[in-house]
Amino acid sequence: MTRSHVDALLDGNRVKLAGYEAKHFGWSVNGKVATITLNRPERKNPLTFESYAELRDLFRQLAYATDVKAVVIHGAGGNFCSGGDVHDIIAPLIDLPMPELLLFTRMTGDLVKAMRHCPQPVIAAVDGICAGAGAILAMASDMRLGTARSKLAFLFSRVGLAGCDMGSCSILPRIIGQGRASELLFTGRSASGDEGYAWGFYNRLCDPDALLDEAAKLAAELVSGPTFAHGITKKMLHQEWSMSIDEAIESEAQAQAICMSTHDFERAYRAFAAKTRPVFEGD
């Protein structure tokens, strides 16, 4: 097989998303940082069947994107996301048989899987209401910036459901601890921004007016780094949850050897030797 054949095969798996036209939320790309805007502010940005599915498909495409190296997700109008739309989602679910309900719950879980498996760091900028499925979106992100007025609530028990939604019983305890996660998932109560920060859910709290800018700055900082290696870091953070220590050490040895074969590793050394700042290119 010639190089041209290989390039042709790879081209089929290379995706450019700067020109993507989202139908059910806002989407923009600036300097390899993509911004997703949940934009139904009159309802505090709830999700619908369609936005769930489009978000899932978009995050799946991000695994092959060459022009997006970090993602910021936020909500319009002073709130992050109020969860699944009561009228557009919950009302129709009441009338569905269990096999079709399982199709829905698997689809929503697939969104979390897609967020965890895309190589780009995902930063949630959380202001105001962050409830139900919105809390899951923030939880599934790699980092979270909040505000003092952020209100985090895993509301599932309040509507007669278990707290184990979309991976919450697995992921949330790893972020804030088993006892604190148990409290939020059993009671469905709201946690304030200060409380979420003290528990480690938020990496830091920002002024509401500066929140999106701070998230964009963090994303730009990540984009300026060794983005291929960042993707490896995200992969290892995710898959080592189920590994023994010995397995994790061996897996990290292999991952680091891969990163040592990149041009960015060589660029870093040459910049250090020349006493300059490395310019990473993600390869």
Q: Per residue in 144-158, pLDDT tens?
A: 999 999 999 999 999
Q: Is the pLDDT of residue 242 over 60?
A: yes
Residue range 65-104, pLDDT digits in tens: 999 999 999 999 999 999 988 778 888 888 889 899 999 9
CATH of domain 3-223: 3.90.226.10
Domain assignments of the chain as residue spans, ordered by start: 3-223, 227-273
Range in 15-19, 138-142, 199-203, 204-208 with the lowest mean pLDDT:
15-19
The structure's pTM equals: 0.93
pLDDT at residue 10 above 60?
Answer: no
Report the distance separating Cα 213 and Cα 192, nearest Å: 22
User: What stretches of the chain show up as alpha helix (H) in DSSP?
Assistant: 3-11, 49-62, 91-93, 98-117, 133-140, 168-176, 178-187, 193-199, 211-223, 227-239, 245-260, 263-273
Q: For 254-274, give the DSSP string.
A: HHHHHHHTSHHHHHHHHHHHT
Q: What average pLDDT does the structure give for the chain? A: 93
- Per residue, the 3-state secondary structure of 149-211, as one string, reads CCEEECHHHHHCCCCCCCCHHHHHHHHHCHHHHHHHHHHCCEEEHHHHHHHCCCCEECCHHHH
Type of residue at 31: G
Six token digits for residue 253: 């040895």
Name, in order, each residue with C-beta under 8 angstroms of 40's C-beta and a sequence gap of 6 or more: 46, 76
Q: Predicted confidence band at 12 (pLDDT cuts at 50, 70, 90)? A: low
Whole-number Å distance between alpha carbons of 133 and 84: 6
Per-residue pLDDT tens digits for 157-192? 998 899 999 999 999 999 999 999 999 999 999 999
Amino acid symbol at 114 = A
Answer whether residue 7 shows pLDDT above 60: no
**Of all residues in the chain, what percent carry a pLDDT higher than 70?**
95
Distance CA 248, CA 244 (A): 6
Q: Which residues pair with 35 in a beta bridge?
A: 28, 72
Determine contact, residues 88/109, Cβ cutoff 8 Å. no
Query: Higher confidence at residue 108 or residue 2?
Result: 108
